[in-house]
Structure 1
């Protein structure tokens, strides 16, 4: 079908081929007969809803006339937001991102369209049309690059979150770039942004950056909470304000556990365990308090394990078995403990279907981001590999090394690959002969 043929000419040809008169066709496409007559005679343009209905009646895929519609209606006349807005949604729905980009770029010279385009981007992002949303966010940010506006900062925030992927180095660079815009956000949005940045650095094991951002989050949240425990009128909250203070303390506890400063870790755990200072008493606040206290109970046991106290192991396993959502993470803590202090945990490992736990943990949830989940799995495979190899369990150790190698390559985590190569080297003379082959493959992949 020629692009030079107008939509009205195509419709007239279709009516002739199908033997339809004006009234019959108007009924089929649910358009007023007078309006349809004007459209066919090119005295009036179609809107995108009418075009979609006509396309469906013709038995053609949705969007097949969008390029012609762009030429005739969007590019062929002064910008008309009432026509452009539904066209953007249509392009996003059918995946015609090149046409969406052309349409957006046509509006960039006029800042009056920035808030409209941003609203569409927000809606597309909310409805999981992330590729289309990214195009709009990028172009709104480009048009406002000299404005230093809150909307520019929000675009950068959304781009940071949309573009988080399995390449850890890109995630790190994206986080560093977004940090420059955090202070331009509204004060409540800053809390959510700092939380997301902290989660990213946590997933990347960038502990110095995590400590810096968690401390900023704690100070900002405490300042706002002291002003008022409630959000400003009209702000759509993500979670109760006090949770940002508690979560910052949880993150700082993680930082000090990584430093093996267990006394300091327990001090931070106590800060988010003792929430008597919280002023809210509604059901949501109570649910969050219970959640933090449950995390505190678990993390006290984890910290004691990490410090070499085996007396809590039985209670910890009991806790783990009753909290199905945290089994893999709890098992990871136990394996790390066993490796550090040379404990035998074979009986504990035999109680769990580890492949099923890994599959279950890969599922997204409201607590951990995809990047944090991938980090969990990399650590879990590495710790299990170390555990079995140290015991002479070469087959199991090799299997977990392979799993971790695949995962480290998948997330482009160079440190993980080099750590694995070190593991191969340490056990090279005594291990399964397949390790030499895998080691060579790993070196090629990481180079």
Structure 2
């Protein structure tokens, strides 16, 4: 069995091979001769910064010595956080999660280290190292003895945020696992967590859950808003920074509740919630960000009142709705509603679609790191093309209709949207006779996958 030389031995061999003195090598790597001498002779402990300098001076990959560094400078020495912490960050930066895991397992034997590892997790999560952060959060959570601790709840919240993506099965499981921990968070952080949970359930069309978490967010938001603006505590700001002004969690609660009631067909209850966020006379903030959000909610209230009336069957407001949306930069949520009304009430909207044809042709799926954009807008993209397919096929525009259907169906499969896939399949079956052979073959391949997904249809009442 081949014996791996120590770091010290390998550096000595390199110096001999290159005929370098320790002074010369020290100048090359910007370390003083005493430091180099101490490392080479084994009389001095080595930091990861010094190791990286030596490795670079030897023209080796930056993580070349990392496994040996663990063996020689961490496992065989008393644990020293000041030395270990920089090494963990370097392992994460270089993608050496195997080395990270090896050191973390050592640290978890000591109850003093989980808080420090939690801090590392928070830092690298903010820097975008999601895989490493997830491992650290999981290990810290496992080591947490106090099941009602805020640190445990934050770990579970971060794991939820990291897991949520485009697979609805994964998203549902992530939401189920995190939900029991949400009320253990700091009350301010709870607001963002409840918002994120509601948005995930909104993307799953689970409207009762949307209402549950949105209502909880609204109640908590009102309590916090009262505390901040109470005469005895006026000017007291939350200890933690929210992603948006505090009052918006109250208004967003009503917006989501209205959305849930509309989706379930209870347009009267939905209108009550719309009226609530249309009245912002109670909002005390007047800074520029608050003014921006107040304007947004007033706009949304106006346009969602139109939508509410349209979905109730009042087609008379359609021209006003179209003129209003023409002034908006983003119009696809509105066009989606136009198509919904057209399909539901057999309304001809060709003139509207022609007016916005350039925007429709240029429509691309949006992308963002925001939970709402990640979860809700990709489904909106699918639903838009599904409804466009339905409208076009009903009009006898088979070539374009099937093109839209393929677009919607392919994306629904990527997102694992079982109900949308099922609806696409039913629409295909209804118009199959009008598909050219090439199109029929493509759609048939997608059809054959639907049976495997049917067991995950969550909410037959959702409006698609």
**TM interval, short-chain normalised:** over 0.9
What's the secondary structure of 2:277's corresponding residue?
helix
Match of 1:10 in 2: 10
Change (3 A) 1:189 1:365: closer
Q: Deviations over 1:222-266 (max 9, x none)?
A: 122222246656423332221111110000110111122223222
What is the CA-CA distance between 1:398 and the residue it aligns to? 1.1
Match of 1:286 in 2: 291
What's the secondary structure of 2:112's corresponding residue?
helix
Match of 2:153 in 1: 153
- Counterpart Cα distance in 2 of 1:3 and 1:341: 79
- Counterpart Cα distance in 2 of 1:315 and 1:190: 39
- Counterpart Cα distance in 1 of 2:33 and 2:155: 44
Equivalent pair of 2:258/2:273 in contact (CA under 8 Å):
yes
Equivalent pair of 2:267/2:308 in contact (CA under 8 Å):
yes
Equivalent pair of 2:138/2:159 in contact (CA under 8 Å):
yes
- Counterpart Cα distance in 1 of 2:191 and 2:106: 35
Q: Does 2:348 match 1:341?
A: no
| Bigger mean CA offset, 58-67 vs 93-102 | 58-67
TM-score (norm 2): 0.90
What is the CA-CA distance between 1:365 and the residue it aligns to? 6.3
Change (3 A) 1:433 1:209: same
Select the residue among 352, 355, 378 that pairs with 1:374: 378
Select the residue among 255, 274, 280 that pairs with 2:279: 274
- Counterpart Cα distance in 1 of 2:272 and 2:132: 46
Q: Does 2:190 match 1:185?
A: no
- Counterpart Cα distance in 2 of 1:78 and 1:163: 36
- Counterpart Cα distance in 1 of 2:299 and 2:381: 23
Select the residue among 328, 342, 345 that pairs with 2:332: 328
| Bigger mean CA offset, 129-138 vs 403-412 | 403-412
- Counterpart Cα distance in 2 of 1:154 and 1:52: 33
- Counterpart Cα distance in 1 of 2:316 and 2:410: 36
Match of 1:422 in 2: 426
| Bigger mean CA offset, 286-295 vs 363-372 | 363-372
Q: Does 2:81 match 1:81?
A: yes
Select the residue among 405, 410, 414 that pairs with 1:406: 410
What's the secondary structure of 2:170's corresponding residue?
helix
Q: CA RMSD in A?
A: 2.0
Q: Does 2:221 match 1:221?
A: yes
| Bigger mean CA offset, 152-161 vs 177-186 | 177-186
Q: Does 2:258 match 1:253?
A: yes
What's the secondary structure of 1:5's corresponding residue?
coil
Change (3 A) 1:295 1:383: same
| Bigger mean CA offset, 247-256 vs 109-118 | 109-118
Equivalent pair of 2:157/2:178 in contact (CA under 8 Å):
yes
Change (3 A) 1:166 1:365: closer
- Counterpart Cα distance in 2 of 1:241 and 1:370: 22
What is the CA-CA distance between 1:436 and the residue it aligns to? 4.1
Q: Deviations over 1:391-439 (max 9, x none)?
A: 1111111112111221111111222221211112222334444454244
The aligned runs of 1:27-426 (5 Å cut-off) are 27-144=27-144, 146-229=146-229, 232=237, 234-324=239-329, 326-350=330-354, 351-353=356-358, 357-359=362-364, 361-364=365-368, 368-426=372-430
Q: Deviations over 1:172-198 (max 9, x none)?
A: 121011111111111111111111100
TM-score (norm 1): 0.93
Equivalent pair of 1:109/1:143 in contact (CA under 8 Å):
no
Equivalent pair of 2:389/2:403 in contact (CA under 8 Å):
yes
What's the secondary structure of 1:43's corresponding residue?
coil
- Counterpart Cα distance in 2 of 1:390 and 1:347: 16
Match of 2:232 in 1: none
Equivalent pair of 1:145/1:152 in contact (CA under 8 Å):
no
Query: How many residues in Structure 1 have an aligned counterpart in Structure 2?
Result: 444
What's the secondary structure of 1:281's corresponding residue?
coil
